[in-house]
Protein backbone atom coordinates (compact mmCIF):
# COMPACT_ATOMS: atom_id res chain seq x y z
CA UNK A 1 0.00 0.00 0.00
CA UNK A 2 1.18 3.58 -0.62
CA UNK A 3 2.83 5.72 2.05
CA UNK A 4 2.83 9.43 2.69
CA UNK A 5 3.02 12.31 5.15
CA UNK A 6 0.06 13.88 6.96
CA UNK A 7 0.31 17.59 6.12
CA UNK A 8 -3.05 18.76 7.50
CA UNK A 9 -5.66 17.51 9.96
CA UNK A 10 -9.09 19.14 9.89
CA UNK A 11 -12.59 18.07 10.96
CA UNK A 12 -11.73 14.38 11.22
CA UNK A 13 -9.93 14.23 7.88
CA UNK A 14 -6.21 13.71 7.34
CA UNK A 15 -4.65 15.15 4.21
CA UNK A 16 -1.79 12.85 3.18
CA UNK A 17 0.94 13.89 0.76
CA UNK A 18 1.92 10.70 -1.13
CA UNK A 19 5.62 9.86 -1.36
CA UNK A 20 7.14 11.35 -4.51
CA UNK A 21 4.08 13.45 -5.31
CA UNK A 22 4.09 16.99 -6.65
CA UNK A 23 3.96 19.96 -4.20
CA UNK A 24 0.42 20.58 -2.97
CA UNK A 25 -0.85 17.12 -3.99
CA UNK A 26 -2.74 15.37 -1.18
CA UNK A 27 -5.19 12.53 -0.62
CA UNK A 28 -8.08 13.12 1.79
CA UNK A 29 -8.18 10.25 4.27
CA UNK A 30 -10.04 9.04 7.31
CA UNK A 31 -8.32 7.17 10.13
CA UNK A 32 -9.00 3.52 10.88
CA UNK A 33 -11.43 2.93 13.70
CA UNK A 34 -8.80 0.86 15.51
CA UNK A 35 -6.80 4.05 16.17
CA UNK A 36 -9.67 5.52 18.18
CA UNK A 37 -10.16 2.24 20.06
CA UNK A 38 -6.48 2.28 21.05
CA UNK A 39 -6.52 5.99 21.94
CA UNK A 40 -4.18 6.86 19.06
CA UNK A 41 -4.65 10.09 17.14
CA UNK A 42 -2.87 10.58 13.82
CA UNK A 43 -0.92 13.84 13.87
CA UNK A 44 0.31 16.32 11.34
CA UNK A 45 3.86 15.18 10.56
CA UNK A 46 3.10 11.46 10.86
CA UNK A 47 4.57 9.16 8.23
CA UNK A 48 1.71 6.80 7.40
CA UNK A 49 0.52 3.92 5.24
CA UNK A 50 -2.88 4.51 3.63
CA UNK A 51 -5.31 2.46 1.57
CA UNK A 52 -6.80 4.29 -1.44
CA UNK A 53 -10.54 3.99 -2.06
CA UNK A 54 -12.46 4.02 -5.32
CA UNK A 55 -13.65 7.61 -4.87
CA UNK A 56 -10.11 8.99 -4.80
CA UNK A 57 -9.98 9.28 -1.01
CA UNK A 58 -8.33 6.86 1.40
CA UNK A 59 -7.96 5.38 4.87
CA UNK A 60 -4.88 5.72 7.07
CA UNK A 61 -4.10 2.15 8.13
CA UNK A 62 -0.71 2.43 9.82
CA UNK A 63 1.36 5.11 11.57
CA UNK A 64 5.13 4.68 11.52
CA UNK A 65 7.01 5.17 14.82
CA UNK A 66 7.50 8.82 15.73
CA UNK A 67 10.86 10.46 16.35
CA UNK A 68 9.24 13.25 18.39
CA UNK A 69 5.69 14.04 19.47
CA UNK A 70 4.62 17.51 20.54
CA UNK A 71 1.40 18.07 22.47
CA UNK A 72 1.21 21.83 21.94
CA UNK A 73 1.22 22.21 19.00
CA UNK A 74 0.14 18.64 18.07
CA UNK A 75 2.90 17.79 15.56
CA UNK A 76 4.87 14.57 15.06
CA UNK A 77 8.46 14.10 13.88
CA UNK A 78 9.53 17.74 14.19
CA UNK A 79 13.28 17.96 14.81
CA UNK A 80 13.77 21.72 14.68
CA UNK A 81 12.06 24.55 16.55
CA UNK A 82 12.38 27.96 14.93
CA UNK A 83 11.98 30.42 17.77
CA UNK A 84 11.08 33.92 16.60
CA UNK A 85 11.49 36.99 18.79
CA UNK A 86 11.20 40.52 17.48
CA UNK A 87 13.71 43.30 18.06
CA UNK A 88 10.84 45.82 18.00
CA UNK A 89 7.03 45.71 18.33
CA UNK A 90 6.93 43.85 20.65
CA UNK A 91 10.32 44.69 22.15
CA UNK A 92 12.81 41.95 22.98
CA UNK A 93 11.83 39.95 26.07
CA UNK A 94 14.75 37.73 27.14
CA UNK A 95 12.88 36.15 30.05
CA UNK A 96 10.13 34.94 27.72
CA UNK A 97 12.74 33.80 25.18
CA UNK A 98 14.46 31.72 27.87
CA UNK A 99 11.10 30.26 28.91
CA UNK A 100 10.48 29.08 25.34
CA UNK A 101 14.00 27.64 25.22
CA UNK A 102 13.34 25.63 28.38
CA UNK A 103 10.27 24.04 26.80
CA UNK A 104 12.07 23.35 23.51
CA UNK A 105 15.04 21.76 25.33
CA UNK A 106 12.62 19.62 27.34
CA UNK A 107 11.10 18.34 24.08
CA UNK A 108 14.55 17.44 22.75
CA UNK A 109 14.37 19.58 19.61
CA UNK A 110 17.17 21.52 17.96
CA UNK A 111 16.67 25.28 18.05
CA UNK A 112 17.12 28.12 15.59
CA UNK A 113 16.62 31.57 17.12
CA UNK A 114 15.39 34.18 14.64
CA UNK A 115 15.56 37.82 15.70
CA UNK A 116 12.88 39.41 13.52
CA UNK A 117 11.87 42.90 12.37
CA UNK A 118 15.38 44.31 12.08
CA UNK A 119 13.98 46.95 9.70
CA UNK A 120 12.08 48.55 12.61
CA UNK A 121 15.36 49.48 14.31
CA UNK A 122 15.51 52.41 11.88
CA UNK A 123 12.27 53.77 13.32
CA UNK A 124 13.77 54.20 16.79
CA UNK A 125 17.29 54.64 18.13
CA UNK A 126 19.10 52.58 15.51
CA UNK A 127 22.45 52.55 17.31
CA UNK A 128 20.89 51.31 20.56
CA UNK A 129 18.88 48.73 18.64
CA UNK A 130 21.95 47.40 16.87
CA UNK A 131 23.77 47.12 20.20
CA UNK A 132 20.90 45.05 21.64
CA UNK A 133 20.98 42.85 18.55
CA UNK A 134 24.73 42.25 18.89
CA UNK A 135 24.48 41.44 22.59
CA UNK A 136 21.56 39.03 22.23
CA UNK A 137 23.17 37.24 19.29
CA UNK A 138 26.51 36.96 21.11
CA UNK A 139 24.84 35.68 24.31
CA UNK A 140 22.93 32.83 22.70
CA UNK A 141 25.60 31.93 20.16
CA UNK A 142 28.06 31.47 23.04
CA UNK A 143 25.63 29.05 24.70
CA UNK A 144 25.49 27.00 21.50
CA UNK A 145 22.34 28.23 19.78
CA UNK A 146 22.16 29.15 16.12
CA UNK A 147 20.97 32.77 15.75
CA UNK A 148 19.87 34.51 12.54
CA UNK A 149 18.78 38.16 12.33
CA UNK A 150 15.93 38.63 9.85
CA UNK A 151 13.75 41.24 8.23
CA UNK A 152 10.75 40.15 6.18
CA UNK A 153 10.58 43.65 4.70
CA UNK A 154 14.15 43.80 3.38
CA UNK A 155 14.60 40.04 3.00
CA UNK A 156 17.63 39.97 5.31
CA UNK A 157 18.27 36.46 6.67
CA UNK A 158 15.34 34.91 4.75
CA UNK A 159 17.46 32.73 2.45
CA UNK A 160 19.62 31.63 5.39
CA UNK A 161 16.59 30.52 7.40
CA UNK A 162 15.10 28.74 4.40
CA UNK A 163 18.33 26.82 3.82
CA UNK A 164 18.35 25.68 7.46
CA UNK A 165 14.82 24.28 7.06
CA UNK A 166 15.72 22.08 4.08
CA UNK A 167 14.66 18.47 4.57
CA UNK A 168 13.31 19.08 8.09
CA UNK A 169 9.90 19.16 9.72
CA UNK A 170 10.12 22.40 11.69
CA UNK A 171 7.88 24.12 14.20
CA UNK A 172 7.64 27.90 14.18
CA UNK A 173 7.04 29.29 17.64
CA UNK A 174 7.44 32.46 19.65
CA UNK A 175 5.58 35.37 21.10
CA UNK A 176 2.45 36.44 19.24
CA UNK A 177 2.90 39.19 16.67
CA UNK A 178 6.65 38.71 16.07
CA UNK A 179 6.28 38.06 12.35
CA UNK A 180 6.05 34.28 11.94
CA UNK A 181 3.56 34.47 9.06
CA UNK A 182 5.44 37.39 7.50
CA UNK A 183 8.69 35.40 7.47
CA UNK A 184 6.95 32.39 5.92
CA UNK A 185 5.40 34.64 3.26
CA UNK A 186 8.85 36.09 2.51
CA UNK A 187 10.38 32.60 2.18
CA UNK A 188 7.60 31.28 -0.02
CA UNK A 189 6.18 33.97 -2.34
CA UNK A 190 2.55 33.26 -3.18
CA UNK A 191 1.84 31.64 0.19
CA UNK A 192 -0.05 34.72 1.39
CA UNK A 193 -0.60 33.70 5.02
CA UNK A 194 -2.80 36.05 7.00
CA UNK A 195 -0.86 38.54 9.10
CA UNK A 196 -2.05 41.01 11.70
CA UNK A 197 -0.77 44.43 12.66
CA UNK A 198 0.46 44.72 16.23
CA UNK A 199 -1.90 46.33 18.71
CA UNK A 200 0.10 49.29 20.00
CA UNK A 201 -2.07 49.47 23.10
CA UNK A 202 -1.55 45.85 24.07
CA UNK A 203 1.88 45.45 22.49
CA UNK A 204 1.04 42.05 21.08
CA UNK A 205 -0.53 40.58 17.97
CA UNK A 206 -3.60 38.46 17.50
CA UNK A 207 -3.26 34.76 16.70
CA UNK A 208 -3.53 34.46 12.93
CA UNK A 209 -3.11 30.67 12.64
CA UNK A 210 -6.09 28.49 13.56
CA UNK A 211 -4.99 24.90 12.98
CA UNK A 212 -1.78 22.93 12.58
CA UNK A 213 -0.74 22.45 8.98
CA UNK A 214 2.58 21.68 7.32
CA UNK A 215 3.65 24.21 4.72
CA UNK A 216 5.81 22.61 2.05
CA UNK A 217 9.00 24.30 0.91
CA UNK A 218 10.55 23.44 -2.44
CA UNK A 219 13.77 22.28 -0.73
CA UNK A 220 12.13 19.29 0.96
CA UNK A 221 11.35 21.11 4.19
CA UNK A 222 7.98 21.30 5.93
CA UNK A 223 7.04 24.03 8.38
CA UNK A 224 4.27 23.79 10.97
CA UNK A 225 2.79 27.26 11.14
CA UNK A 226 1.16 27.12 14.56
CA UNK A 227 -0.54 29.60 16.88
CA UNK A 228 1.77 31.87 18.84
CA UNK A 229 1.69 31.65 22.62
CA UNK A 230 1.96 34.64 24.89
CA UNK A 231 1.90 32.48 28.03
CA UNK A 232 3.63 29.22 28.94
CA UNK A 233 3.40 27.24 32.14
CA UNK A 234 5.67 24.63 33.70
CA UNK A 235 3.06 22.05 34.68
CA UNK A 236 4.66 19.34 32.51
CA UNK A 237 8.15 19.99 33.93
CA UNK A 238 9.63 19.07 37.28
CA UNK A 239 12.05 21.31 39.17
CA UNK A 240 14.61 18.52 39.05
CA UNK A 241 14.69 18.69 35.23
CA UNK A 242 14.82 22.49 34.91
CA UNK A 243 18.62 22.84 35.07
CA UNK A 244 18.99 20.27 32.27
CA UNK A 245 17.05 22.68 30.04
CA UNK A 246 19.76 25.33 30.45
CA UNK A 247 22.45 24.09 28.06
CA UNK A 248 25.35 25.86 29.74
CA UNK A 249 24.46 24.34 33.14
CA UNK A 250 24.58 20.71 32.01
CA UNK A 251 28.37 20.10 31.76
CA UNK A 252 28.91 22.02 35.01
CA UNK A 253 26.25 20.12 36.97
CA UNK A 254 28.21 16.88 36.64
CA UNK A 255 30.99 18.36 38.81
CA UNK A 256 28.79 19.85 41.53
CA UNK A 257 29.60 18.62 45.04
CA UNK A 258 26.05 17.39 45.71
CA UNK A 259 24.03 15.17 43.43
CA UNK A 260 20.75 16.84 42.48
CA UNK A 261 22.22 20.29 43.20
CA UNK A 262 19.60 23.03 42.75
CA UNK A 263 22.33 25.57 41.86
CA UNK A 264 20.78 28.05 44.26
CA UNK A 265 22.77 27.91 47.50
CA UNK A 266 24.69 24.63 47.81
CA UNK A 267 28.42 24.75 48.60
CA UNK A 268 30.63 23.35 45.86
CA UNK A 269 28.14 24.27 43.13
CA UNK A 270 30.00 24.66 39.84
CA UNK A 271 27.15 26.66 38.29
CA UNK A 272 27.41 29.28 41.04
CA UNK A 273 31.19 29.31 40.58
CA UNK A 274 30.77 29.89 36.85
CA UNK A 275 28.29 32.69 37.53
CA UNK A 276 30.75 34.39 39.88
CA UNK A 277 33.53 34.05 37.29
CA UNK A 278 31.36 35.54 34.55
CA UNK A 279 31.23 32.29 32.58
CA UNK A 280 27.42 32.20 32.77
CA UNK A 281 25.28 35.19 31.80
CA UNK A 282 23.62 36.74 34.84
CA UNK A 283 20.37 37.19 32.88
CA UNK A 284 20.18 33.47 32.20
CA UNK A 285 20.84 32.59 35.83
CA UNK A 286 18.26 35.12 37.11
CA UNK A 287 15.69 33.61 34.75
CA UNK A 288 16.59 30.14 36.00
CA UNK A 289 15.89 31.26 39.59
CA UNK A 290 12.60 32.88 38.52
CA UNK A 291 11.45 29.74 36.72
CA UNK A 292 12.52 27.53 39.63
CA UNK A 293 10.41 29.56 42.04
CA UNK A 294 7.49 29.64 39.61
CA UNK A 295 7.59 25.86 39.36
CA UNK A 296 7.74 25.44 43.14
CA UNK A 297 4.76 27.76 43.55
CA UNK A 298 2.71 25.86 40.97
CA UNK A 299 3.56 22.55 42.61
CA UNK A 300 2.17 23.85 45.93
CA UNK A 301 -0.96 25.14 44.19
CA UNK A 302 -1.71 21.88 42.42
Residues of each annotated binding site for GTP: 116-119, 174-182
Q: Which residues are annotated as a binding site for Zn(2+)?
A: 256, 261, 263, 269
Dihedral sign (CA 79, 66, 219, 216): negative
List residues bridging with 63 in a β-sheet.
Answer: 48
- Of 172, 14, 1, give the one whose Cα is nearest residue 84: 172
CB 292 within 8 Å of CB 242? yes
CB 239 within 8 Å of CB 245? no
3-state secondary structure string across 6-48: EEEEECCEEEEEECCCCCCCCEEEEECHHHHHCCCCCCECCEE
Start-end of H helices in the chain: 33-37, 94-107, 126-143, 158-164, 180-187, 239-242, 250-253, 270-276, 282-301
- In whole angstroms, give the CA distance from residue 302 to residue 300: 6
- Of 8, 174, 20, 165, give the one whose Cα is nearest residue 87: 174
Distance of CA 125 to the CA centre of its chain: 30
DSSP state of 252: H
- Of 156, 165, 166, give the one whose Cα is nearest residue 115: 156
Cβ neighbours of residue 134 closer than 8 Å, sequence gap 6 or more: none
Q: Which residues are annotated as a binding site?
A: 116-119, 174-182, 256, 261, 263, 269
Cβ atoms < 10 Å from Cβ of 255? 12
CB 172 within 8 Å of CB 181? no
Amino acid sequence: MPEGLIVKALSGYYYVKPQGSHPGETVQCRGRGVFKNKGITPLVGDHVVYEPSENGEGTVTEIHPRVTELVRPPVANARLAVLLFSLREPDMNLQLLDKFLVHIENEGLDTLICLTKRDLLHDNDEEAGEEITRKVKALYTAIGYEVIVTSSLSGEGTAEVKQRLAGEISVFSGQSGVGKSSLLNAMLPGLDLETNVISMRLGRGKHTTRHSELIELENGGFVADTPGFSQLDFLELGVDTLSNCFREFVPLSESCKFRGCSHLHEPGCKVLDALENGDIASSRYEHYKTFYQEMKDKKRRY
